[in-house]
Structure 1
Amino acid sequence: MLDFKEILTVTMVLFAVIDIVGTIPIIVDLRSKFGQIESEKASLVACAIMIVFLYAGDQLLKLIGIDVSSFAVAGSLILFFIALEMILGIKLYRDTEPSSASIVPLAFPLIAGAGTVTTLISLRSQYQSNNILVAIILNVILVYGVLKLSGKIERALGESGLNVIRKVFGVILLAIAVKLFAANVKGLFV
């Protein structure tokens, strides 16, 4: 059964992790280097990656011998560092030499990268998968819209507006990372 509160929470978490608004400067740079970005292709590939990890992530973990609690704690730590990047404006890791634009690095790893797939698997420990699926679809729609309108959004918000949005979502993501850690760390010692 769909739960609006869960859908809203997961949508916000994914929106913060994907940070599509914060990647507008990267998108603009990719467009200048490679020409037109295929928004539809990038959105669909990112959606497919997220759905695969939502439903097959647990099996992949079992295959390599990792329990969900351990992965959720690891995911909370990744979210913590992503939030620090957003809040402090530092770069802990970014692929700076892309070879193409629409699939790599846009769909993966910028939209559906390690942070996103880790978040999805971690969220499975707290939320219903059907609510997460709706949140994925909502985020892909937002991603598609931002990709289509990235030039206009950048001009409208300006550099300082983009920075404010990035920092606000960074604080939200940091709080979510702490909550995920606290909820799953007990499972490591059982």
Structure 2
Amino acid sequence: MFDLDLVVNAVTTLLVTIDPPGLAPLFLGLTAGMDRGQRKQVALRGSIIAFFILAVFALTGAGVLALLGISIGAFRIAGGLLLFWIAFEMIFERRQERKEKTSETAITRDHIHNIAVFPLALPLIAGPGAISATILLSGSFPTPVERGGLILVLAFCLALLYLSLVVAERIDRFLGMTGRAILTRLLGVILAALAVQFVVDGVKSAFAG
């Protein structure tokens, strides 16, 4: 019923843009002073909120584009370029610095118990990259049944994110600075390749249209 290659591509794209290993140390910083139970509550709430945000874009993103007169091909090109920039930042360690600044600003402005909404769910999890990737992927899942499959993919990716946040302390201790740097660059290269593929597909779609 579902194209396995599309599903694998969707899972890979979403996991790379959401970046669970990269969020793990930031989550620890945001929840400093909380016990394990409180951290689980924050992780669960943030993951659920981010899931609903991305699900809305998965279901309505293409419709909004059509309403604005933007073709899915044009959006694939623009989104692919955006994802490529994110990949560039990941490879050269600029994305992590921006995330850390976002988290530091949020701690000073919001009460600690509201961080599940901001900045955890938005923009650290459901950020511009993840939203763009979701809208791009929705174009590859056009039918209602296939769109339901995309929602399941989102649920799977957010479940993995939740698990990574629950064991964030162990992940951070296991990876260390060197491990995080290697993993981030590797994921950045993969995302760059996926971004280029989005641009190629967008150009083909634009010329076909």
The TM-score with structure 2 as length reference comes to 0.82
CA–CA distance in structure 1, aligned partners of residues 198 and 69 of structure 2: 21
Alignment partner of 2:192 out of 163, 174, 185: 174
CA–CA distance in structure 2, aligned partners of residues 93 and 166 of structure 1: 14
SS at match of 1:23: helix
2:6 and 2:140 in contact (8 A); partners too: no
- Hey, what does 1:151 align to over in structure 2? 169
2:58 and 2:134 in contact (8 A); partners too: yes
Whichever residue aligns with residue 137 of structure 2, its letter is L
Query: Number of matched residues?
Result: 190
User: Cα offset for 1:93?
Assistant: 5.0
2:75 and 2:202 in contact (8 A); partners too: no
Alpha-carbon spacing, 1:186–1:93, altered in 2? closer, same or farther (3 Å): farther
Q: Give the root-mean-square deviation of aligned CA atoms.
A: 2.1
CA–CA distance in structure 2, aligned partners of residues 43 and 82 of structure 1: 21
- Hey, what does 1:20 align to over in structure 2? 20
Q: Which 4+ residue blocks in structure 1 deviate beyond 6 angstroms?
A: none
CA–CA distance in structure 2, aligned partners of residues 188 and 93 of structure 1: 33
CA–CA distance in structure 2, aligned partners of residues 114 and 154 of structure 1: 25
Q: Output aligned runs, 1:20-99, within 5 Å.
A: 20-32=20-32, 36-37=38-39, 38-91=42-95, 93-94=98-99, 96=102, 97-98=105-106, 99=110
Whichever residue aligns with residue 66 of structure 2, its letter is K
User: Cα offset for 1:79?
Assistant: 0.5
- Hey, what does 1:112 align to over in structure 2? 126
Quote the sequence identity (%). 32
CA–CA distance in structure 1, aligned partners of residues 168 and 98 of structure 2: 23
Whichever residue aligns with residue 111 of structure 1, its letter is I
Question: Could you say which structure has the larger radius of gyration?
Answer: 2
Q: Which has the higher helix share?
A: 2
User: Cα offset for 1:139?
Assistant: 0.4
Stretches of structure 2 that go unaligned for 5 or more consecutive residues are none
